Structure 1
């Protein structure tokens, strides 16, 4: 049987049956699992502090060298177990290695959590035929369990994404299936090795009782689980593409350590004009030159400014659509989505027509952000949530200010760097009808549908109203 892989990693967690699965992997001809090689407290096995000539200090200094040595010195397919809290430096290289097979072992998180609590209480982490079983009832802690589930889910999503983008697949196996000989022989076939004649019998299942019998507060556990949103019903769906950090658009003051990270569609010209009061501005950064700028200015501060979704969308509607700048998107809006638009550069005849056109634009934006149009999600009307997440790809801002409190926010920012505040120049106006002339409850409702994520993330009240 030809081998598809030269090594493997078993992604698992505590109390998922990884010891049992490791024992059966080691029973397969040509397969050697070396345990938790990157556990922070030991190497491979409990109380073991060296492996293949590597001490824990050696492993800390060069973890990938340990993997290379393990593979070179193991006859056959070498592997190890990796949990979400093991050395993060090895995760990405292992995930990207297509000659390294991925085995993903999972278990009902409530069962693994309760089993973990019992193991903590009894000190018994393995059960073999030579040991008497120890048992205990434990207390279910709702906050601790939710943190447990959150960590597991985040790690599983990370694994799934890494496999998807690299075009790989993994062998998924559940705790309930690790004692199924046919399933384990399917795993052997996946690895490209001979299967098993029978299961390893050295390890026994611990705590076989029902979960309700293992906790001292089963009623509280049931109530807590009922309150958990298992299916994330309150989540606002997000179909926007990930955005780049947009570092070349960042603007820095020449004389002081202030860096503005603009959100397109916001008060960009006004804030840039304000920064001009500090000896002018510079921009066109790359990530390298921006890091150099930061290093040369200890105590620097970065900031961005949010604009109310209604005002920002209206700015995009006027500056990008009514102006005629985005001709192809205008054409699609008119032909496919039947949006009534005046001639490029012209405004509507009256406020009612402008309001109707803007509401139509907001309806189109909702479809666009939901991935239901063929047009690009342009940065001028992309959600501000997505733009700030893009900033975080390089580094998030120190401060997030709001346009409606811009003067106070900039004054606070300047106090951080020990500077006096120059006057804030007026915001430039366009030649189209102002928002105040066409705003209505229907406009607000359309904006809330289009920008539900931003309203939720940043707590915007209705446009023109103070925060509640």
Structure 2
């Protein structure tokens, strides 16, 4: 232990040089690294049966026992190597403890993949004598490599996010840094141990020093596959929306039929709620809602055959409905203060004294286009005004739901007449009613102003939803 840390973890992966790093760490006085302590296939090393008196069987039953043994070593800073596929039960304990030093070792994923393929082919995972080196060339597999990269990237993002949100920092080491004595001694200083290395360990040898193209049996196929990778995420739709809670109190259950509706704001909420009430012959006010998470879990246990659903609305219809009700409207649920800000600050041609005969469809079209411009800026985090759920992306709503539960079915508004009654029949309802479809918006219907130019504006504003859900032009 040191004044800074009680224990340490090396986050690494196969064929990243973690054996070499461990060897040099163990050469420092007062440091003890115990290999892959939580590898599900062995404990520490393939030929070991226990670590610090904890057997593999005991570790598997109670992983905290081994963690505590590593931390409790008297006069020694203990640690181990942890890969993305090691026992996930200990990851929270590692990441939540600021007294645990985090060392992150990385390597070019193509190099680590090719090295792994060669090691598998030769069954030679370490090299201490160059004369015993076995040679083989890797067979590049595009799908296998893509999965390899995805797994490594996902784990690195998890590490980075957890360290950021907990206010911790890690010591990052690249594969190439392992041959730099100054970096290794810098790591020792960061750990807070007094020992320093006079030279790097020479027992382990680089197994495959050739260029990567020379180590692959099918380099042409590899080059074709790599050329198709979007290395810089050129096709990614940026997302600056803030994360939201799951919104459990907004969920609505059937009074008798075990259905649970997860509303997306701006969608056909009123129509679905009327249908849910009519389904069991009750008033809308009698539908179970405003449940907290505990109450919803109790409802789900009481209705083990329940099904949950949400409804997507075409972004053009959704944005226009929100604009008409929330911005133009003056009734319950309208945003009077926001309307005034949009009129004065964003210069939307909105009527100051209510809708009158001079509010033509042309003026309505101009105001709606201005609203779409505001929404686009709001989604990009470019305004000081709040991003309301009514115009956030539907993709973000589904992501928020998933923090608590994932809906069984994601329906689309134009499918409700067929799929919603069928869903009720499958839950035992003998004769579900038809659903009333949404009436045209007021004071002007979307169809009065819609054209390809307006569709292009909506698609540009809600690009994330169009990509995620495959929306095409508004069907009318």
TM-score where L is the length of structure 1 = 0.96
Matches within 5 A, 1:115-134: 115-129=115-129, 132-134=132-134
TM-score where L is the length of structure 2 = 0.94
Matches within 5 A, 1:34-113: 34-73=34-73, 75-113=75-113
Alpha-carbon distance, 1:431 to partner: 4.1
Match of 2:417 among 407, 413, 424: 407
Question: How large is the RMSD of aligned CA atoms in angstroms?
Answer: 1.7
Alpha-carbon distance, 1:432 to partner: 2.3
CA deviations 1:335-391 (Å, max 9, x no partner) are: 332222112653661000001100110111111101111111100000000000000
Aligned to 2:474: 463
Aligned to 2:341: 332
Residues in 1 aligned to 2:351 and 2:15: alpha-carbon distance in whole angstroms: 65
8 Å CA contact retained: 2:35, 2:80: yes
Match of 1:278 among 267, 277, 280: 280
Aligned to 2:11: 11
8 Å CA contact retained: 1:9, 1:103: yes
8 Å CA contact retained: 2:2, 2:77: no
Cα 1:135–1:416 change in 2 (3 A) is farther
CA deviations 1:18-72 (Å, max 9, x no partner) are: 0000111111111111111110101111132322333333222221232012211
Aligned to 2:171: 171
Q: Is 1:292 aligned to residue 298 of structure 2?
A: yes
Residues in 1 aligned to 2:105 and 2:235: alpha-carbon distance in whole angstroms: 29
Residues in 2 aligned to 1:306 and 1:458: alpha-carbon distance in whole angstroms: 9
Alpha-carbon distance, 1:405 to partner: 1.1
Cα 1:256–1:266 change in 2 (3 A) is same
Residues in 1 aligned to 2:227 and 2:437: alpha-carbon distance in whole angstroms: 53
8 Å CA contact retained: 2:107, 2:175: yes
Residues in 2 aligned to 1:17 and 1:342: alpha-carbon distance in whole angstroms: 68
Cα 1:398–1:309 change in 2 (3 A) is same
8 Å CA contact retained: 1:6, 1:100: yes
Aligned to 1:386: 396
Residues in 1 aligned to 2:223 and 2:130: alpha-carbon distance in whole angstroms: 36
8 Å CA contact retained: 1:402, 1:409: no
8 Å CA contact retained: 1:3, 1:192: yes
Residues in 1 aligned to 2:337 and 2:169: alpha-carbon distance in whole angstroms: 40
Number of residues of Structure 1 aligned to a counterpart in Structure 2: 465
In structure 2, the residue corresponding to 1:145 is in which secondary structure?
helix
Aligned to 1:161: 161
Residues in 2 aligned to 1:380 and 1:134: alpha-carbon distance in whole angstroms: 63
CA deviations 1:87-109 (Å, max 9, x no partner) are: 11211221111111110000010
CA deviations 1:95-143 (Å, max 9, x no partner) are: 1111111100000100000000000000011111387111201211111
8 Å CA contact retained: 1:269, 1:428: no
8 Å CA contact retained: 2:257, 2:424: no
Residues in 1 aligned to 2:97 and 2:458: alpha-carbon distance in whole angstroms: 45
Deviates more, 1:392-401 or 1:433-442: 433-442
Cα 1:30–1:298 change in 2 (3 A) is same
8 Å CA contact retained: 2:251, 2:262: yes
In structure 1, the residue corresponding to 2:72 is in which secondary structure?
helix
Cα 1:367–1:86 change in 2 (3 A) is same
Matches within 5 A, 1:281-360: 281-324=287-330, 325-343=334-352, 345-346=354-355, 349-360=359-370
Deviates more, 1:357-366 or 1:421-430: 421-430
Deviates more, 1:180-189 or 1:440-449: 440-449
Cα 1:331–1:185 change in 2 (3 A) is farther
Cα 1:345–1:416 change in 2 (3 A) is farther
Alpha-carbon distance, 1:429 to partner: 6.0
Q: Is 1:21 aligned to residue 21 of structure 2?
A: yes
